[in-house]
A and B are shown apart, each in its own frame.
Chain A
């Protein structure tokens, strides 16, 4: 029996670009180059490693997003994933985490899975809660924020480094896993991988295919509302001194003037 791995990935605006909000206060995806969220590369990497360890496995990458989100799927396919599923629908514009998780959960169930693997957070929304919500929606164990993960004999094990303790976790499949940027460097696509990715299947799904009504998603279907977005005022230029032997003392003087000492 083949191990079915579904990796959830997100196409995000480049964090090093000039990111903005659009007029409707959704993330502006037109004016900034997009790419596969860096934190999702770790999820793809762990999926590929788990697949390599398994006797027989299939890695499907799944995304919800606009047409350009195919770029993120291509990147994951060129790293070595077997196939891709792209949920794309005009009604999805403005969908919040609750709607996105609904769409992903339905798509995951349609694709079929033994384990879902996600990154620790997206680099644009940065909520970090989607994997937990997916586990809740799918009704399977959540094994999240792992810095180390392995799957053997239908059991997923991993290490979760928390604020106050490091925990070893264990759950039976099917399960939802998320991995951190400590889980292991993601591989670069090889030239061969990039060429092979062009021939790998990308299935497109719309909301109708998943039995989801338009009013369950989108800006109007969101369970949260953004009322305003304002650019943080640029910090006023500070004092900059060159160290000529007294830099530490000058800094201490400043800290004292601000009552930190």
Chain B
């Protein structure tokens, strides 16, 4: 079977969930060969093998951490040259998309970003994407070169599929552009102990109706009772109530969880763009006319300051 390169997103050897989802999709179209770069690259092998990687190519060098994006493009290009894959899959993070795009130009290939599904086709892999704030679904393919496709988190289940996962060192030589942009400082994001927003199975979001940074505590309490991530609408972020890293919508994160709970969010098109593909949508809003109610599977017209705490208590007591 043809080999499919899978770019591994990991933090010091801990593989992030979207990469495991990519392995599920890669197995549909060929044999996954993983590429792990930077500190802890070799430590990723066990998790990758367990989820279907037949091979794990690893490279570590200070350049991967000290310079932006380009060293990783050099390495991925070296992997493409070594493997001659039928496709290259990359997680749709901000960095992942940039790596994929630069790789695509270099190898003369088309690129598809933010796929939400992938299947084998007669003329190569067919990617499903959402367009226009998720009001349309398109099917596309790369028509020139080796398809380079980035895939959004939560697009496929994580499946155990043990494979050899043999670790091989990847030889990388860095080009002149690799050291162009220096990373002079890096501050890791403080861990909240909650799931990553884009990866979470449940997201609880607050909007304008939350009416103050201090009130987000009730959103967080509900999230914690459900083991959920916390999101915020642009209005809440612009007001300074919650960090931009938690913003859901066109200019923030796009999420596709099993359950999305919108509290005090009217549901403007910009917000819908980031959550419309959620499997089940629930909303709590004082305004019965709020457009968010057009999307919901279940809605409560009411004051979130009454409904949310009551829901949190009920969830806690049911979970015992």
Contact = CB atoms under 8 A, between A and B. Distances in A.
B303 A101 contact: no
B300 A162 contact: no
A16 B270 CA distance: 8
B158 to A, nearest CB: 18
A43 B307 CA distance: 41
A228 B139 contact: yes
Interface size class of B (residues with CB under 8 A): 35 or more
Contacts of B69: 132, 142, 144
B299 A241 contact: yes
Contacts of A245: 306
Contact of A225 (B94, B113, B140, B312): B140
A199 to B, nearest CB: 33
B113 A127 contact: yes
A110 to B, nearest CB: 20
B221 interface: no
A128 B251 contact: no
Query: How big is the A interface, by class?
Result: 35 or more
A236 B251 CA distance: 27
Contact of B94 (A19, A139, A163, A246): A163
Nearest to B70: A142
A188 interface: no
A167 B136 CA distance: 35
Nearest to B302: A243
B20 to A, nearest CB: 16
A99 B92 CA distance: 22
A242 interface: yes
B189 A251 contact: no
Contact of A260 (B144, B259, B312): B259
Count chain B CB atoms within 10 A of each CB in A135, A223, A250 and give the residue with the most.
A223
Given A167-B185, A224-B112, A247 B307 contact: yes
Contact of A169 (B105, B143, B184, B188): B184
B284 A222 contact: no
A90 interface: no
Contacts of B1: none
Among B114, B140, B142, B280, find the residue whose CB has the most chain A CB atoms closer than 10 A.
Answer: B140
A230 interface: yes
B83 interface: no
Contacts of B198: 163
Contact of A168 (B131, B180, B185, B313): B185
A170 B184 contact: yes
Contacts of B102: 132-133, 135-136
B319 A261 contact: yes
B97 A141 contact: no
B36 to A, nearest CB: 15
A163 B31 CA distance: 29
Nearest to A21: B136
Contacts of A238: 281, 293, 296-299
B114 A126 contact: yes
Interface string A205-240: 000000000000000001111111111100100111
A197 to B, nearest CB: 26
Say whether chain A's binding surface is mostly helix, strand, loop, or mixed. Answer: mixed
Interface string B290-320: 0001111111111100111111111100110
Contact of B313 (A132, A162, A167, A248): A248
A120 interface: yes
A120 B302 CA distance: 37
B238 to A, nearest CB: 9
Interface in B179-213: 180-189, 196, 198, 202
Contact of A167 (B186, B270, B312): B186
B259 A232 contact: no
Interface in A80-130: 96-98, 101, 120, 123-124, 126-129
A143 interface: yes
Contacts of B269: 15-16
A228 B131 CA distance: 12
Given A126-B250, A251-B300, A235 B294 contact: yes
Contact of B143 (A16, A39, A101, A224): A224
Given A129-B113, A235-B281, A256-B318, A248 B101 contact: no
Nearest to B313: A248
Interface in B97-138: 97-98, 100-102, 104-106, 109-114, 126, 130-138
29 contacts: A126-B250, A127-B97, A132-B69, A132-B101, A133-B101, A133-B105, A136-B177, A142-B69, A163-B198, A167-B68, A167-B185, A167-B187, A169-B184, A170-B182, A223-B144, A226-B139, A229-B137, A230-B136, A230-B137, A230-B138, A232-B136, A232-B276, A235-B297, A239-B298, A243-B307, A247-B310, A248-B309, A249-B314, A260-B226
